[in-house]
A and B are shown apart, each in its own frame.
Chain A
Amino acid sequence: MKVFLFLLAFFLSSNLWSSESTYKEMPKHDWSFSGVTGTFDRAALQRGYKVYREVCSGCHSMRLLYYRDLIDIGFSEAQVKVISSEYTVLDGPNDDGEMFERPARPADKFVNPYLNDNEARANNNGAYPPDLSVITKARKYGVDYIYNLLLGYHEPPEGVVVGEGMYYNEWMPGNQIAMPSPLSDGVIDYDDGTDTNIQQLSEDVTTFLKWAAEPEMEVRKNLGIKVILFFILLGFVVYLAKNKLWREVH
């Protein structure tokens, strides 16, 4: 009957879920938040948010996030008020029945760069820039995919023809991507003096996107350790009691 358990373990082992071997192996990056006790580096999150705000947000929405969520990555309430006030949202109708524009508040969602999907497509050569709210959960290999994609722009290899308005990317399925390489060394300035090479920018923005997709990660892992310890302790006590009880069974 051990075959059962073996098969179960085999079936659960993750390589059954990985994609077909025709793809190249996705290089694994060493993330500060991985592992059982891994947490988000607040400085990296804030840098990553800056990359998103100054580069990505030109085309990509994050419609599931609120400005108030930024308090979680270490901004003060006052800072978040300032950040949100730089955006304009359409509100209303007011008492006169008019729609009006006002500065965004922390309770507002991240402002979408486009009015609607059609405008997004029209401005991007027909390609729709995907929403980034849960992008690390919505792509195979998650953060490693995003990180490698951002660094994966090359000249196409010999014989590969890239379509009109498309770019060659090593990690994009099909190797053609409509987004031009968004990052390059020094494309933005960091306030904390961290080096702005493309690897650093990619790592920071991916960390930010991971947080955006799983803001509960730190609470989750923390609670998880406690819950597992509870089951282990309870299990140990029950095991002793069970053995004592069953010893009398003949």
Chain B
Amino acid sequence: MTGSKETKQYKNPVLNWIEFRLPIISYFEKEYGEYPMPKNCNYFWSFGALAMITLVTMIVSGIFLAMNYTPHTDMAFDSVERIMRDVNFGWLLRYIHLNGAAFFFIIVYIHILRGMYYGSYKYPRELNWILGCVIYVLMTATAFLGYTLPWGQMSYWGATVITNLFSVVPIVGEGLKTWLLGDYTVSNATLNRFFALHYVLPFVIFGVVGLHVAAVHVHGSNNPAGIDIKSKNDTVSFFPYMLLKDTLAVCVFGVIISAVIFFGPNIMAEVDNYIPADPLVTPAHIVPNWYLAPFYAILRAIPSKMGGVLAMGAAIFILFVLPWLDTSKIRSCNFRPMYKWFMMAFFINFFILGYVGLKPAEGLYLLIARLGLVYYFGFFLIITPFIGWIEKPKKLPASISDVYLGGGKEMPSPVAQKEIH
């Protein structure tokens, strides 16, 4: 049996010993050392790495927070404040975790929108896209559960509103809701199970992220031109080229998130969540975390509760089937003169939905939310398939190398080349 497969040889005997028994060294060498990246990738390709780093940061800071947190309705609020006041650098842990969640969503939204704009979801990366959607769904669940834990007013009422949505399920709805809550209302039993789930879900996310990364490494990363790698000349190795680029992105991101964590740690937090939960006092406006607001806007745009829940579910589910809704073979919107603008409009629409999702569902806000909802679904169900049929794409460049050297039009001057970097 032994010797049927050549074991890679290393200078270090310890590495050899490990490699012979578990070829993990060569695996990492292949996936994170030599892994070929298209050399025209721009900084939008660093958001995957940023998301990974943020996930790890969230898990690590979360573990330390959990050591000091008490999941009991009488003590949760105070235990969070105790972390902020009496635990060494507890304020830092909590502000990292609080703002890290928001930035995690910013990063992942940019990552998703990048995938949409450059057509990264298309053949052969459909499963990769689906895994990404699974991660996103798990993230929203985790974020919602985490929002409950400080047991402030928004925690309590947010949990009440969202768990109420399950009661629309026919026949078993009320029973399902009670089963989820562990009680007839949001209570101590709810907080306990939400804490347990909030602790475990990030590890599930971590596992799916592993699959997501493994899947993208099978066919390689997409690139801004959306064309396939044709030769070795089209790529650079991950180490050190992309690693240095990603590290630079991490530094820029570090400056931005540090500015928020250290100088405005509560600018994205709801003030009501610094008021302890009170089941007898309803806040004037119950709002979700802003990063879930686009879907909250869709939920409230439909006048019936059942319809709203279905629309919200559909809004997320439709992402999963995007690879089959898009009828165009061209990946990158850079070469899709019509679809590009609808895509831009989709991004803007998504932000607008997020904006109105934080406002009361009445008057002009409600109207905007409804128009936004129409465009959201219209984009996926009508525009995306239809444009693919009628659009005449621009001519694709011959190779990634040509794109990198200036579109293959003329010999690039050193200055022009620098701009493409």
- A residues touching B (Cβ–Cβ < 8 Å)? 1, 3-4, 7-8, 10-11, 14, 16-17, 20, 36, 64, 69, 130, 133-134, 137-140, 142, 173, 213, 215-216, 220-221, 223-225, 227-228, 230-232, 234-235, 238-239, 241-243, 245-246, 249-250
Contact = CB atoms under 8 A, between A and B. Distances in A.
A224 B255 contact: no
B314 to A, nearest CB: 24
B415 to A, nearest CB: 13
Contacts of B272: 138
A8 B106 contact: yes
B271 A139 contact: yes
A1 B354 contact: no
A69 B82 CA distance: 12
Nearest to B110: A4
A185 B106 CA distance: 49
A238 B78 contact: no
Contacts of A7: 347-348, 351
B258 A1 contact: no
A137 B358 CA distance: 19
28 contacts: A3-B347, A4-B44, A7-B348, A7-B351, A11-B354, A11-B355, A16-B358, A17-B267, A138-B271, A138-B275, A220-B265, A221-B262, A223-B262, A224-B259, A225-B262, A227-B254, A228-B259, A228-B262, A231-B251, A231-B254, A231-B255, A232-B251, A235-B254, A238-B248, A243-B421, A245-B241, A245-B244, A249-B241
B266 A137 contact: yes
A227 B251 contact: no
B113 interface: yes
Contact of B255 (A10, A228, A241): A228
B261 A224 contact: yes
B156 interface: no
A223 B92 contact: yes
Residue from the set A20, A133, A216 with the largest chain B CB neighbour count within 10 Å: A216
B244 A238 contact: yes
Interface in B101-130: 106, 110, 113, 117
Contacts of B85: 64, 69, 215-216
A249 B85 CA distance: 51
Nearest to B117: A1
Interface string B185-198: 00000000000000
Interface residues of B, number: 52
Nearest to A224: B262
B344 interface: yes
Contacts of A215: 85
B236 interface: yes
A228 B347 contact: no
Residue from the set B110, B117, B244, B252 with the largest chain A CB neighbour count within 10 Å: B244
Contacts of B355: 11, 16
Interface string B235-277: 0100011001101100110110011011101111001101100
A223 B262 CA distance: 8
Contacts of B347: 3-4, 7
B263 A36 contact: yes
A242 B418 CA distance: 12
B344 A138 contact: no
A17 B359 CA distance: 9
Nearest to A139: B271
Given A8-B110, A138-B275, A235-B255, A227 B262 contact: yes
B258 A231 contact: yes
A138 B236 CA distance: 51
Given A224-B261, A238-B248, A242-B248, A3 B344 contact: yes
Nearest to A237: B251
B245 A250 contact: no
Contacts of A249: 39, 236, 241, 404
Closest 5 CB pairs of A and B: A224-B262, A235-B251, A138-B274, A231-B254, A242-B244
Contact of A64 (B81, B244, B263, B290): B81
Contact of B42 (A1, A231, A250): A1
Contacts of A1: 42, 44, 117
Contacts of B348: 3, 7
A33 B85 CA distance: 19
A241 B271 contact: no
Contact of B251 (A14, A137, A234): A234
A4 B81 contact: no
B267 A14 contact: yes
B150 to A, nearest CB: 11
A98 B355 CA distance: 58
A176 to B, nearest CB: 15
B84 interface: yes
B405 interface: yes
A227 B95 CA distance: 14
B91 interface: yes
A11 B404 CA distance: 32
A66 to B, nearest CB: 8
Contacts of B247: 238, 242
Nearest to A135: B274
A220 B262 contact: yes
A235 B271 CA distance: 34
A10 B354 CA distance: 12
A142 B179 CA distance: 39
Contacts of A16: 355, 358
Contact of A228 (B78, B95, B258): B258
B233 to A, nearest CB: 9
Given A216-B85, A220-B95, A246-B241, 17 more contacts: A4-B44, A17-B268, A36-B263, A64-B82, A69-B85, A137-B266, A137-B271, A142-B271, A220-B91, A221-B262, A221-B263, A224-B258, A224-B263, A231-B254, A235-B255, A238-B247, A249-B404
